[in-house]
A and B are shown apart, each in its own frame.
Chain A
């Protein structure tokens, strides 16, 4: 890929490790639900006293929302039954500190806004958000990436389920403070996207006030291929997949541009909606999808797409407009569609395809059709979306919001929101940011990752790769805690660098090793419960959710008792009787420690071994 093919910027949302932004609730997720409340939302009138037509249609769908109440993590504020309290001071402070770290210009007075969101993810119908700073920058390697804005906002509810016109959300996540950082569109390669995210992530963690773990940091990707359009992939949680999302999105947009070229060359015109009931054509068809729909009082409805043949799915599968179209159809609630490029197939035999084409009057091989088997109205809604999407192919890449999928691709979610409807949050007083506050913050900025690396090298005598790795893994605090208590800096550093790398290569998730577990393991190592050589095997066992004790047992690392140790030592002493006698007895203890420790495979404390060995040699000499 050449550098000039696309532009990309990211938005990073990081949960802060404080109480909630506008109330005193704890800010963790919670499985305990004690009650629920039913609510409705309705689009509000704009300045002109008019209601957005699309929003009204949405509200007339009669969607209701159920909010699950959780103890400790939700109160009347989350439920929109009490005004927001004053903004959480700690969260505001972290946002200011981070803005200063980005060398961004902090506003003189912070004003919270209401960003209208009527999908139910917030009982109030809006998300509270404030612009804290603008025009910052972050160094990623040698390159400077601009920071357009740093915002402080509330996280939304967790979606639990959606059944029959009622969506259930849980209030626990709502109101957890988030810092939102938006970069400029200066990312030029898929890998750079991840590097920028990693760098910003490590700076966020340098504040030591952010939450850690899956779901606590989420990325939105804005990607646009030249000649394409901005699409937003929203809510990526897997950092490692970022380059893949970028690559796949770039490929998708380029594919859509190729489709457009083909269509334009052919002279394909926008298609008008014209539904044809083709149920009777499929009499006797064995397709499960077709029969399933028919037995559920469904119909088979078709639409013609003149000039769209061959681009829905070409033989080498490089053109895939069909997949795009199918995603739009699915967003209308049908299970799927069939298009002419994929038929015969899926149990629909050639004769049905021939009859259908005849029935629809399709003779040109560049002409396509799409069929949908579902209840009449549902099928028609889906096909309406199909035609709308097909017509967009003539323009190229439509602007849209997409959901990331676990395989690194994404699927259509909704059109990009228009100019955000932002209203002032009149319940939260403005917060003045004084010069004194900012001077205090800039004089007490957290240690930057590169400074931490330098310090680890000089203070603990580890090498640069190890220091970098520890910082990158966000294990600085743990590293210092372990080494300050037990020493063994180089063993700990080697574990974090080499051992972790080996384990990850084998697909082991090293983030599962909690700080407590690691402290425990190194504590036991220090006690001599096992040797450092046993560490990789031990961690491997622990990764499969074993306790440290169980892992020790399984690997046969458990301590042996004195009698057993004495027997082994006595045998070695016997074998080396000559050597001991030459050395004159007790002076052989030193040279024999090695072989004895090897034989005991670290199952017994070194000091004890020394004691037992001395005792056995004395016995021999008597």
Chain B
């Protein structure tokens, strides 16, 4: 039975054979309620059974020793039939890869349970407009919330993208949770350095089962960008403003989620978005982007897992971090200001570097580039061998360092690679 019921109620329901979706009659305090049993909410009291009444409302009913529960009907199971979509030879083919997240989660209205998965063909069916623009193939890779993504998911995803492109896809649209979408975008950017087609990550801040979901308009914008732009690269497309008719195309290596809930939560940092789209699909490019090509690609998915990402804070105590830093092959620090730690940290950092750890400095200011020549701590860190990576986002630097440590031939190569822009992840110039 469901865990959150009390043991007693759990047993009672089990004896009755009652399960989510079945029809019950519950008699309590002289009143009989008849309805469909709904999935027990995690925050519901343990002695409460939730019923969906005929009028559509859900109510919670407390079950005591005096309550009479009768099982009226077993749940009606509705099977979905997935019909194959016809291919139109004159249209390009886009592959939708599902990974989970808000954009792919929905509430089962029959039982009230929230599923992080949604048959991807349903998503495509929910925006039927795109069928006139492209053939669609779908692939459900994972169904997880993005906070549960890790390196192995990035690796599988990169492999899947390469496979689909080598199989003739004209573009890839990845449905992804928004929490860690920018990490995945950065990982794919480094793992697919010779990408020949558009690979777009897209999420939504409001789930698909809501009429106001940003998923619909975001997906249409992705399809239009993939088909019309003919630009290769890894991108993130989300709302540019709170309006449902403005979208930003962000470089996968330069994007960050900067708001917990707004649909315009994603921003390009230290650069303009690569392009903008309006509600009619008109694309405005803000920079030169690589053209699509017909060539096979390879995914470089090796990653060093002994890499850590630390945020510097006032009074950071080196003793608490000694083990972590000494054991790691790579450390990315989101330092203060232009790229600093407190001076107490310098001896530990010096030891680690001597021990072969690569330490990369970024800034928790996010905006602007690091510069370790200005203040004495910066100069001390530079002397110790800390690498400054211009205006690279801390999370991008973390992903890049993990990737470089696994793909470069030696430490010097790693250090050189960290300072060299590979996929537009850093720049010398910033404008107002």
Which A residues fall within an 8 A CB radius of B?
37-51, 56, 64, 76, 79-83, 105, 107-111, 113-116, 118, 123-126, 129-131, 134-135, 149, 151, 419-424, 426, 429-430, 432
The answer on a CB contact under 8 Å between B209 and A109 is no
Bitwise, B57-71 to A at CB < 8 A (1) or not (0) is 111111000000000
Q: Which positions 9-36 of chain B face chain A at CB distance < 8 Å?
A: 29, 31
A383 to chain B, nearest CB (A): 29
**Residues B114 and A426 in contact, CB atoms below 8 Å apart:** yes
Chain B 38-57 interface mask (CB, 8 Å, partner A; 1/0):
10010111001010110111
- Which residue of the partner chain, among A39, A83, A109, A426, contacts B243 with CB atoms under 8 Å? A39
Q: Which residues of B contact A64 (CB under 8 A)?
A: 244-245
Chain B: minimal CB distance from A107 (Å):
4
Q: With A and B bound together, what is the CA distance between A74 and B114 in angstroms?
A: 29
Residues of A within 8 A of B356 (CB): none
- One of B60, B114, B125, B208 near A109 (C-beta < 8 A): B60
Q: Is the CB of A45 within 8 A of B107?
A: no
Residues of A near B211 (CB, < 8 A) are 41-44, 116, 118, 124-126
Q: List 21 A-B contacts (CB under 8 A).
A: A37-B243, A41-B211, A48-B80, A51-B125, A64-B244, A76-B261, A80-B206, A108-B60, A108-B61, A109-B61, A109-B62, A111-B50, A114-B210, A116-B211, A124-B206, A419-B56, A420-B55, A423-B109, A430-B43, A430-B44, A430-B60
Please report the total number of B residues contacting A with Cβ < 8 Å: 50
Most interface-central of A129, A421, A424 (chain B CB within 10 A): A424
Known: A47-B108, A424-B112, A430-B43. A107 touches B61 (CB 8 A): yes
Report yes or no: A422 in contact with B262, Cβ–Cβ below 8 A: no
A48 to B50, CA, bound (A): 22
Residues from chain A with a CB closer than 8 A to the CB of B206 are 80, 124
Q: Are B48 and A108 in contact (CB under 8 A)?
A: yes
- Report whether B78 and A48 are in contact in the complex, using a CB–CB cutoff of 8 Å: yes
Instruction: Give the nearest-CB partner of B112 in chain A.
Output: A424
Q: Are A430 and B126 in contact, with the CB atoms below 8 A?
A: no
Given A80-B212, A109-B44, A424-B107, the answer on whether A131 and B59 have CB atoms closer than 8 Å is yes
Contact A45–B60 (Cβ < 8 Å): no
- Is B122 among interface residues, defined by CB-CB distance under 8 A? yes
Q: Is the CB of A125 within 8 A of B58?
A: no
Q: Is the CB of A124 within 8 A of B212?
A: yes
**Residues of B close to A423: CB separation below 8 A:** 107, 109, 209
Knowing A47-B108, A111-B60 are in contact, say whether A38-B48 is a contact too (CB < 8 A): no
Which residue on B lies nearest to A105, using beta carbons? B31
Smallest CB gap from A422: residue in B:
B56
Which B residues, 193 to 232, have Cβ-Cβ distances below 8 Å to chain A? Answer: 205-206, 208-213, 216-217
B62, closest chain A residue (CB): A108
* CA–CA, A116 and B217, complex, Å: 19
- Say yes or no for B254: interface residue by CB 8 A criterion: no
Q: Is the CB of A49 within 8 A of B56?
A: no
Bound complex: CA A125 to CA B245 (Å): 17
Once bound together, how far apart are the Cα atoms of A165 and B59, in whole Å?
Answer: 39
Q: Is B242 an interface residue (CB 8 A)?
A: yes
Assess the B217–A40 pair: CB atoms within 8 A: yes
Instruction: From the candidates A83, A123, A129, A134, name the one contacting B212 in the complex (CB within 8 A).
Output: A123
A433 to B205, CA, bound (A): 32
* Closest A residue, CB atoms, query B105: A426
Report whether A44 and B43 are in contact in the complex, using a CB–CB cutoff of 8 Å: no
B107 touches A44 (CB 8 A): no
A244 to chain B, nearest CB (A): 30
Bound together, the chains give a CA A291 to CA B128 distance in angstroms of 42
Q: Mark B85-114, 1 if CB is under 8 A from A, else 0.
A: 000000000000000000000011110101
Q: Is B263 an interface residue (CB 8 A)?
A: yes
Q: Are A107 and B78 in contact (CB under 8 A)?
A: no
Q: How far is the CA of A419 from the CA of B110 in the complex (A)?
A: 14
In the complex, the 9 A-B pairs of residues with the closest C-beta atoms, listed nearest first: A109-B60, A125-B211, A422-B56, A131-B57, A108-B62, A111-B58, A429-B43, A107-B59, A38-B243
Q: What residues on B are CB-neighbors of A37 within 8 Å?
A: 242-243
> Chain B residues near A126 (CB, 8 Å)?
210-211
> Which residues of A have CB within 8 Å of B29?
105
- Shortest CB-to-CB span from A227 to chain B, Å, is 25
Q: Residues of B contacting A429 with CB < 8 Å?
A: 41, 43
Query: CA A43 – CA B208 in complex, angstroms?
Result: 10
Contact of B60 among A41, A46, A81, A107 (CB under 8 A): A107
Closest chain A CB from B369 CB (angstroms)? 31
- Tell me which of A115, A130, A423 has the highest count of chain B C-beta atoms within 10 A of its own C-beta: A423
Besides A134-B31, A430-B60, 16 other A-B contacts (C-beta < 8 A):
A38-B244, A42-B213, A44-B208, A47-B78, A56-B128, A80-B206, A81-B261, A83-B261, A108-B48, A109-B48, A109-B62, A114-B210, A422-B52, A422-B55, A424-B107, A429-B41
Please indicate the chain B residues that have their CB under 8 angstroms from the CB of A109 in the complex.
Answer: 44-45, 48, 50, 59-62
Q: Give the distance to chain B from A483, nearest Cβ to Cβ, in Å.
A: 44
Which of B55, B209, B242 makes the CB contact (< 8 A) with A44? Answer: B209
List chain B residues, Cβ under 8 A from A51.
125-126, 128
Question: Could you tell me which residues of chain B, from 167 to 211, have a CB within 8 Å of some CB in chain A?
Answer: 205-206, 208-211
How far is the CB of B371 from the nearest CB of chain A, in Å? Answer: 36
Most B CB contacts (10 A, CB to CB) among A82, A107, A123, A135 go to A107
CA separation between A124 and B211, bound complex, in Å? 7
B59 & A49 in contact (Cβ 8 Å cutoff): no
Are the C-beta atoms of A131 and B263 separated by less than 8 Å? no
